[in-house]
Amino acid sequence: MKVSEIAEILNNWMPTSIAEDFDNVGLIVGDPKNLVNKILITLDTTIDVVDEAIKEGCNLIISYHPIIFNGLKRITPDSGYVQKSIIKAVKNNISIYAIHTSLDNHPKGISYFLSKKIGLTNLSTLIPKETEFKNLNTGMGVIGQLDKSLDEDAFFDLLKDNLNLKYLRHTKKLNRKISKVSIVVGSGSFAIKNSLDSNIDAFITSDLKYHNFFEADNKAILVDIGHYESENHIKLIIKEFLNKKLPNFTLLLSEENVNPVKYY
């Protein structure tokens, strides 16, 4: 099967046209005509992941984050990890496909799957997005309900247990029950106002800055679970989908793709 054929399968699942305008999704590196032997699935395409693909004989990397996000002025061996990864991928005939905000904006995308991991029901889109697909409730984030209201400590324990978290950051406790919850996987500070306007009890996201925590204004709990921690489950989602579409293909989950943030 060619790279272009697998790209078409992915695009039919998570269309590139529903991605954000600032994003860079689809086939980023490689020749669409190349034949695919094995596929490596990763959150990020780092130099270690490219080395892993070479070692495992994978000539297509499917990545959540795009390897090229901002403009590149040069691609040389003495540049950063992005350029080094691209050079090594091209030299070894490895193609790289990224999904990113196509998966963010899809109603059955990355925030949806995180909501299922913590048991939310009655889901709706947090920030709707107009697209050509009128039958899809596209947009960023989800809102849902817990089956039963929890006090704040029990809610934090639920997140730590179900999402395998060692730490989380949050605004001050309000001594209220948590029932209505919104989620934006990844960097979601832009959605604080949308969440508060939706009268949620808690908003789950990551990459909140110091001043973002003041924006809660005693209206809800803001919870920062970490960027990697909020997105790491996406590898399994991609693999489960492709297992159904490509049952005869070898699909590997990257073991080199690890959290770049360390704690002491």
Give just the sign of the alpha carbon dihedral 237, 102, 254, 165.
negative
CA 250, distance to chain mean position in Å, is: 22
Distance CA 254, CA 264 (A): 25
Sheet hosting strand 38-42, strand order edge to edge: 26-29, 95-98, 60-63, 38-42, 250-253
Q: Exposed, middle or buried, 217 (CB in 10 Å: 0-12/13-18/19+)?
A: exposed
Percentage of residues in the chain having pLDDT higher than 70: 100
Tell me if domain 3-103 and domain 106-230 are identical in fold. yes
First vs last C-alpha separation in the chain:
46
Superfamily of structural domain 106-230: NIF3 (NGG1p interacting factor 3)-like (3.40.1390.30)
Task: Answer for the pair 191, 205: CB distance below 8 angstroms, yes or no.
Answer: yes
**Parallel, antiparallel or unpaired: strands 178-187 and 169-170:** unpaired
**Does 257 score more than 90 pLDDT?**
no
Report the top-level CATH class of 3-103: alpha beta
Q: What is the pLDDT of residues 11-33, one digit of tens each?
A: 999 999 999 999 999 999 999 99
How big, in percent rounded to 5, are the helix, strand and coil portions of the chain?
35, 25, 40
Single out the residue of 221, 103, 107, 211 nearest to residue 158, CA to CA. 221
Helices (H), 57-205: 81-91, 101-105, 110-117, 152-162, 192-197
pLDDT tens digits, one per residue of 143-158: 999 999 999 999 999 9
Average pLDDT over residues 68-87: 89
- The residues that bridge with 142 in the sheet, in sequence order, are 125, 183
pLDDT digits (tens, 9 = 90+) for 227-251: 999 999 999 999 999 999 999 899 9
> Does residue 80 surpass a pLDDT of 90?
no
> What gap in Å lies between CA 261 and CA 41, rounded to an integer?
20
pLDDT reported for residue 72? 85
Domain boundaries, given as residue ranges, for the chain:
3-103, 106-230
**pLDDT band with cut points at 50, 70 and 90 for residue 185:** very high
| pLDDT for the residue numbered 136 | 86
Total residues found in the chain within this entry? 264
